[in-house]
Structure 1
Amino acid sequence: MTDPARTVLAGLDAVRSHVEDLYRDLHRHPELGLREHRTAKKAADALRDAGFEVTEGIGGTGVLGVLTNGDGPVVMARADMDALPVRERTGLPYASTEAVTDGGGGEQPVMHACGHDVHVASLIGCARLMAGHRDTWRGTFVALFQPSEENGDGADAMIDDGLTAKSPRPDVVLAQHVLPCPAGLVGTRAGSFLSAADSLRITVHGRGAHGSMPQAAVDPVVMAAMIVVRLQTVVSRELAATTPAVVTVGSIHAGSGPNVIPDRAVIELNVRSYDNATRARILDAIARIVRAECEASRAPEEPEIERISSFPPTVNDEEPTRRVADAFARYFGDDARTVELQTASEDMSEIPRAFGAPFTYWAIGGIDPERYAEAVRKGTVAQDVPVNHSPAFAPVIQPTLDTGVSALTVAALAWLAPEPPPEASGPQGPGVVVTAPPT
């Protein structure tokens, strides 16, 4: 029996140069969240050229492409488009020199430091292959380009702008992310994959006084210090040792001079968790500790606890993940692996949740395999392999892009042109050990 995926991907040679050129162009011209106007136009134009029905401007800059090819399942593949406020230090000939004006009137450099340019180029390549081989599949293929993933508000922006009314309801939603592991690998994981992330700003109130007269003050610096110390017990003493979670205090600000006791202190922290029950338990514990320490210090006002950003956990549905893992095992062989639990965060899962559809999200490698193997041999992976959000992060063009295009195509065809299941299911290779920095 002919393998539809291999039939479609036989056309990869014909689209490779276009995908590579598009990737270089996107990398050279990155755009921040909800400003992806140029990127969105590139995606929309490419989809129209391939015969998709295109809707632009969803949630600001989001793009929806729909290719209907007879009766059958509806498969949605999503790519994020935004870049980061990072100055690129890769030395590549197509490195970004883009900058924008920040809120203070200064210059803010911009870089595709997380690989979203890989995601966009890969989905365009997949879309072109699907459009060019309609004789091999039946159903509807939906290509979705999402803005502002890094800010955690792009998926909601599209949903609030009527995405579910503008797109056919998918039977499954697919997405992928390039990670700092060897290029050519693909990694799936059923169940919890990416963490939830909650960033909090806590303001505690005291009573200011001269530094020489602490008896006249309620010192918010001491109050904040006690809170920071006590927060270290949330994970270590309130969760089971087998429950993964992180509480990190990243910022604390108070006062204006060494001999002045201020009247307030501001703490900013980040929480990572993998299920909503653990998430709620941690957030409740933080609120309890903050209020208790303020009461113990005789704070004159209640503390303010503000959630300044929030990402949901990414929990892959079992059945679609198994189906994709089986398809990857058939096509990629030993390069199809199981990926570790990641501490990164994503807002993609809000899209299938809005449609009431299952989803699966997987990883592809982006690091030169020889460079990665040498770092492993020397025990210097953490030092020598740039990770996402680093100014030195630069996925190798190949085989990263071929893998990205192929993975999306193979996964989509698992619904649109399904093969009989093999006797042995799931990825066959050893696990991919990757730790990516969180969004």
Structure 2
Amino acid sequence: MIEAVVGEFSELREELAEFYRDLHQNPELSLQEKRSAGVLAQRLRDAGFDDVTEQVGVTGVVGVLRNGEGPVVMMRADFDALPVEEKTGLPYASTLRAVDRDGQDVPVMHACGHDMHAACLVGAATLLMRARAQWRGTLLVVFQPAEELAVGARGMIDDGLFDRFPRPEIVLGQHVAPLPAGFIGYGTGPVMAAADSLNITLHGQGGHGSRPEAAIDPVLMAANLVTRLQGIVAREVAPAESAVLTVGRLHAGTKDNIIPDKAELGVNIRTYTPQTRDLVRGAIERIARAESTASAAVAEPDLEWFSSVPALVSDPRATETTIGAFIEHFGAERVQQMPQVNASEDVGVFGEVLQVPTVFWFWGGLETEPTLAAWAEGRIDQLPGNHSPYFAPVIEPTLTTGVEALVVAALTWLGKP
């Protein structure tokens, strides 16, 4: 059955490749994906979907294909881009700029492969529409915006995704990665980290740089805090656990001889278990308050947790079943188990809210032979990865592999005729 469905892809391959190039050349920032949403919705309609809804969670697109009694299976792809200046040199490279949510003019690029995700989901949805005689059930196709802001999945849910449309029994998703093209990578259990972001504002007392005794220096306060925060993972998280704490932003002052009255820090953490997550969050708040007290700050620090994504858990039993189908289709040599990834993905929110299994995998997007050679020679860090200005998946066999993986996974869980 699977071979019969994917065998139809040869007719779509070049047309879908051109669609991918169009998406890549016309990227849009998170929650600004109006053009992209429009063309994705039209692609579903052109494929034969008569139930297509736009503007779900601002710019999300949902397609529903009902095909008799059977399971409801959700396939999801994200499609937002990043404020990155593309340096791939491709003939279809992006040269676009946009105004971000902070009002800054920025370059825009599909530096994380979301354009490939979207194109593959279009291809898989088209094939499954054409092969309705081969399966039974309901297919829920979700194009999710704003993954890069970690708010897109939650936004679609808050806009009634699972009230207005069929509630799936399983959520399927994939991510293109700096692996050899044609290869599938997977994990079970927590495969990607939870992510939490925090803004900290420290309150000092401004003054002249020549009279520090008459001021309370928030820059020194911030410097001490940055150093102390690094001790959380080193000395409070058990060695058997995994956590990352990054201070990615530190801003204070306007001039070298002026002591400012405040300092601002942006902190990001990555964890895999709720226990470690709570420990790290609590330790950050404790240390920030203690450093302020030790420095005689004029007020308690302001602590604003503004972004939160749970760990992405690929359900072990459902993953085993899906990967078994991948091995049968692609061959065991092309399907490899991967270590945990410290990056984060908000696709896990869907399954967590519904309390249904999520199955998530990675597939390769870099030229196969050079990438395998880099692995063999220990040069993995030299390969362009996601969010790099040089990251752009080779179109083939990446596109074919991504489409086939989604089709294989969907047919594994949809009902049989």
Regarding TM over 0.5, the answer is: yes
Conserved 8 A contact 1:51-1:67: no
Match of 2:14 among 12, 17, 25: 17
Alignment of 1:55-66 (within 5 A): 55-66=53-64
Of residues 400, 410, 413 in structure 2, which corresponds to 1:412?
410
**Offset of 1:254 from its aligned partner?**
1.8
Separation (CA, whole Å) in 2 of partners of 1:33 and 1:103: 9
Question: How big is the shift at 1:260?
Answer: 2.3
Structure 1 residue 195: Cα displacement: 0.7
Deviates more, 1:282-291 or 1:34-43: 34-43
Give the aligned partner of residue 74 of structure 2: 76
Listed one character per residue, the Cα deviations across residues 372-397 of structure 1 (whole Å, up to 9, x for unaligned) are 123234432212x1111111101000
Residue 11 of structure 1 aligns to a residue whose secondary structure is helix
Aligned length: 415
- Structure 1 residues 272-313: Cα deviation after superposition (integer angstroms, max 9, x where no partner): 111221111101000001111111111111111112322221
Partner of 1:248: 246
Q: Secondary structure at the match of 2:12?
A: helix
Could you say which residue in structure 2 is the equivalent of 1:195? 193
The residue number in structure 2 matching 1:380 is 379
Q: Give the AA of the match of 1:371.
A: P
2:26 is aligned to 29
Overall identity of the aligned pairs, in %: 51
Equivalent position of 1:133 in the other structure? 131
Matched, 1:146 2:161: no
> Structure 1 pair 102/149, CA: closer, same or farther in 2 (3 Å)?
closer
CA shift for structure 1 position 164: 0.9
What is the alpha-carbon distance in structure 1 between the residues aligned to residue 375 and residue 174 of structure 2? Answer: 24
Shift of 1:214: 2.1
Tell me which of 16, 38, 41 is aligned to 2:38. 41
Alignment match, 1:338: 337
* Partner residue, 1:321: 319
Q: Which of 79, 85, 97 is equivalent to 1:87?
A: 85
Q: Which amino acid aligns with 1:32?
A: L
Gaps of 5+ in 2: none
Q: Is 2:325–2:408's contact at 8 Å kept on the other side of the alignment?
A: yes
**CA distance in 2 between partners of 1:7 and 1:382 (Å):** 39
Alignment of 1:77-226 (within 5 A): 77-102=75-100, 107-226=105-224
Question: Partners of 1:135 and 1:190 in 2: how far apart?
Answer: 32
Taking structure 1 as reference, are residues 269 and 104 closer, same or farther at Cα in structure 2, changes over 3 Å only? closer
1:67 match = 65
Q: Distance in 1 between matches of 2:104 and 2:234?
A: 42
* CA distance in 2 between partners of 1:261 and 1:57 (Å): 47
| TM-score computed with the length of structure 1 as normaliser | 0.91
Query: Is the Cα–Cα contact under 8 Å of residues 70 and 415 in structure 2 kept in the other structure?
Result: no
Counterparts of 2:246 and 2:94 in 1: how far apart (Å)? 31
What residue is the counterpart of 1:271 in the other structure?
269
For 1:71, the aligned partner's letter is E
Contact in 1 for aligned 2:29/2:100 (Cα 8 Å):
no
Residues of 2 paired with 1:187 and 1:320: CA distance? 15
CA RMSD of aligned residues (A): 1.6
- Secondary structure at the aligned position of 2:411 is classed as helix
Deviation at 1:258, TM superposition (A): 2.7
Q: Which moved more, 1:48-57 or 1:405-414?
A: 48-57
Alpha-carbon distance in 2 for matches of 1:51, 1:106:
40
Report the counterpart of residue 424 of structure 1 in structure 2.
none
Structure 2 counterpart of 1:432? none
Distance, in Å, in 1 between the alignment partners of 2:101 and 2:161 is 30
Distance 1:137 1:239, change over 3 A: same
CA distance in structure 1 between the aligned counterparts of 2:265 and 2:400, rounded to whole angstroms = 44
1:125, distance to aligned residue in structure 2 (A)? 0.6
Q: Which amino acid aligns with 1:93?
A: P
Counterparts of 1:314 and 1:106 in 2: how far apart (Å)?
A: 31
Letter of the aligned partner of 2:194 in structure 1? A
**Paired residue type of 1:98:** L
2:354 paired residue number: 355
Residue 7 of structure 1: aligned partner: 4
Shift of 1:418: 6.7
Using the TM superposition, give the Cα deviation of residue 127 of structure 1 relative to its aligned residue in structure 2, in angstroms: 0.7
CA apart distance, 1:12: 1.6
Quote the residue 1:312 is aligned against: 310
What's the CA shift string for 1:341-376, capped at 9, x where partnerless?
A: 001111111222333322111101100011212323
**1:24 corresponds to which letter in structure 2?**
R
Kept in 1, the 8 Å contact 2:199–2:306? The answer is yes
Q: Distance in 2 between matches of 1:408 and 1:374?
A: 28
Mapped contact 1:152–1:347 kept (Cα < 8 A): yes
For residue 291 of structure 1, what is the aligned residue in structure 2? 289
Greater mean deviation of Cα atoms: 47-56 or 347-356: 347-356
CA shift for structure 1 position 268: 1.4
Q: CA deviation at 1:40?
A: 1.2
**Which range moves more in the overlay, 78-87 or 220-229?**
220-229
Looking at structure 1, the residues matched to 154 and 362 of structure 2 have their Cα atoms a distance apart, in angstroms, of 23
Q: How far apart, CA to CA, are the structure 2 residues paired with 1:285 and 1:102? A: 32
- Secondary structure, aligned partner of 1:306: strand
